[in-house]
Amino acid sequence: MNGNLTRRARLRDDVLARAKDQVLLMGILNVTPDSFSDGGQFLNPRAAMAQVEALDADGADIIDVGGESTRPGAAEVSAEDEIERVLSVIPGLCASSSRIVSIDTSKAEVARAAAAAGAVIINDVWGMTRDAGMAQAVAETESAVVVTYNRGDIQPDINIADDMRDFFANAFAMVAAAGIPREHVILDPGVGFGKTWQQNFDVLARLDVLMDFGVPVLVGVSRKSFIGRLLDREVQDRLIGTLAAGLASVQRGATILRVHDVREHADALKMLKAIDEAG
């Protein structure tokens, strides 16, 4: 086993083991010009590395690197451009023997390049349904994978819990067919992807559907538009709503929160833990 694969396997197994019984924070690093919240801020590799150092200091357990915005209406990015963006930072991030890096992509080609550079987790907001080669890329790189509930089209009248259960049952069939170990899978209810405004609340309320599959659950709600719509707040003023949704998700079993504001979430989780332990 080569050195990169040995390191990646060690970090993959470590993060998956910790996610079974403690809450981890996945800090967001967008190396994009057009992400909805922080587009353009970290395109420069020096700015990106400074942001990662800040996320580390604030308590991030995972750094999630994205090279293509997934906001509604965002322009598509070629695999070549996406690879160029993420590889401007991933090798430097992975120079640390202990930093766990995730690649936020729905392209198998990008996932392979990021894994070769040291990324441990493939975070696919399309749940391995957009790129037919993604499941094989996960299997061959021996990565952990975040499978996101994203049906693409919005259907207001479906039973969201039943549909989510069927989606993940199909996902696990795909996982088995590709030879991906079940224990390498993380599930995400996909807040903001292929859902009405109200369905975002519905999937958060029904995290029990994901818990039934017996693998870690990741929730990503940071600064998203459903919070802004409910509270009438602009993007940079959605921290309190984000914290509330994140803590509610943890109480329903989520063990990974994908966030922009790591320090504030770390503080909130420490308070929650102290209260739980006192009880």
Beta bridge partners of 188: 148
In this structure, the dihedral spanned by the alpha carbons of residues 173, 175, 177 and 178, taken in order and rounded to 10 degrees, is: 160
- CA 203 centroid distance within chain: 16
* Whole-number pLDDT of residue 72: 64
Active site residue 258: yes
Q: Each residue of 225-258: pLDDT tens digit?
A: 999 999 999 999 999 999 999 999 999 999 999 9
Of 176, 229, 198, 185, the residue nearest 16 (C-alpha): 185
Q: Each residue of 48-78: pLDDT tens digit?
A: 888 999 999 999 999 999 998 776 666 788 9
Q: Each residue of 194-216: pLDDT tens digit?
A: 999 999 999 999 999 999 999 99
**Can you tell me which residue has the tokens 């990741």?**
218
Both tokens of 92, joined, read 């430097």
d(C-alpha 71, C-alpha 34), whole Å? 9
* Whole-number pLDDT of residue 260: 94
Choose the catalytic residue: 224, 233, 270, 273. 224
d(C-alpha 64, C-alpha 145), whole Å? 12
Number of domains composing the chain:
1
200: domain CATH number? 3.20.20.20
* Whole-number pLDDT of residue 131: 95
* Whole-number pLDDT of residue 269: 98
Is the dihedral angle over the CA atoms 272, 64, 30, 172 positive or is it negative? negative
Rounded mean pLDDT of 163-174?
Answer: 97
**Phi, psi for 186 (deg, rounded to 5):** -125, 140
Choose the catalytic residue: 258, 263, 270, 273. 258
The parent domain of residue 93 ranges over 3-278
Percent residues over pLDDT 90 in the chain: 84
Say yes or no to pLDDT of 132 above 60.
yes
Tell me the CA end-to-end span of the chain in Å, nearest whole number: 47
Say yes or no to pLDDT of 184 above 80.
yes
User: Are the C-beta atoms of residues 207 and 193 closer than 8 Å to each other?
Assistant: no
**Can you tell me which residue has the tokens 């320090």?**
263
Each residue of 70-96: b (16+ CB within 10 Å) or e? beeeeeebebeebbebbbbbbebbbee
Q: Each residue of 146-160: pLDDT tens digit?
A: 999 998 889 999 999
Active site residue 20: no
Q: Each residue of 104-124: pLDDT tens digit?
A: 999 999 999 999 999 999 999
